[in-house]
């Protein structure tokens, strides 16, 4: 059964750093684009980083320069390093993956995702 599982998260003070990871299993991890999403209290779930199958990474402006994503296909793992964290970064972080034909549509972009991890909570205090 295909699944994604996040690891890491927790609490940190503003200005601090934290790393989280996401391990995929049960599917061909390397061929599918991945993404990090963040859901903040009272708001929806927004994509903050896209990590394409070919390694191309796109960062939304709100995290650009502070967050770094990467993927290790040999380990079926997606990583997120978060630096200079701010209280507004508080939220639940989800990894997500393309599924089915989306995995083969465009290796340089991340289309619609259909597989989600359970999420991990990151809390940044001021």
Determine the Cα–Cα distance for residues 6 and 30; give it in Å rounded to an integer: 17
Q: What is the pLDDT of residue 114?
A: 93
pLDDT of residue 41: 81
- pLDDT for the residue 100: 87
Confidence at residue 90, expressed as pLDDT on a 0 to 100 scale: 96
Task: Return per-residue pLDDT of the chain as tens, 126 residues.
Answer: 899 999 999 999 999 999 999 999 999 999 999 999 999 988 889 999 999 999 999 999 999 999 999 999 999 999 999 999 999 999 999 999 999 888 988 889 999 999 999 999 999 999
Question: Is 23 within 8 Å of 4 (Cβ atoms)?
Answer: yes
Q: Give the up-direction half-sphere exposure of residue 108: CA atoms within 13 A in the CB hemisphere.
A: 0
β-pair type (91-98, 67-72)? unpaired
**Measured distance CA(23)–CA(2) in Å, rounded:** 11
105 secondary structure, DSSP code:
H
């Amino acid at each position: 059964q295909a699944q994604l599982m996040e690891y890491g998260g927790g609490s940190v003070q503003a200005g601090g750093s934290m790393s989280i990871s996401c391990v995929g299993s049960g599917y061909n991890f390397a061929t599918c684009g991945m993404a990090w999403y963040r859901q903040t209290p009272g708001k929806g779930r927004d994509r903050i980083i896209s990590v394409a199958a070919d390694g191309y990474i796109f960062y939304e402006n709100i995290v650009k320069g502070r967050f770094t994503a990467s993927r290790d296909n040999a380990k079926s793992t997606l990583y997120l390093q978060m630096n200079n964290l701010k209280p507004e970064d508080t939220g639940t972080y989800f990894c997500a993956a393309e599924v089915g034909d989306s995995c083969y549509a465009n290796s340089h972009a991340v289309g619609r995702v259909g597989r989600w991890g359970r999420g991990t909570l990151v809390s940044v205090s001021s």
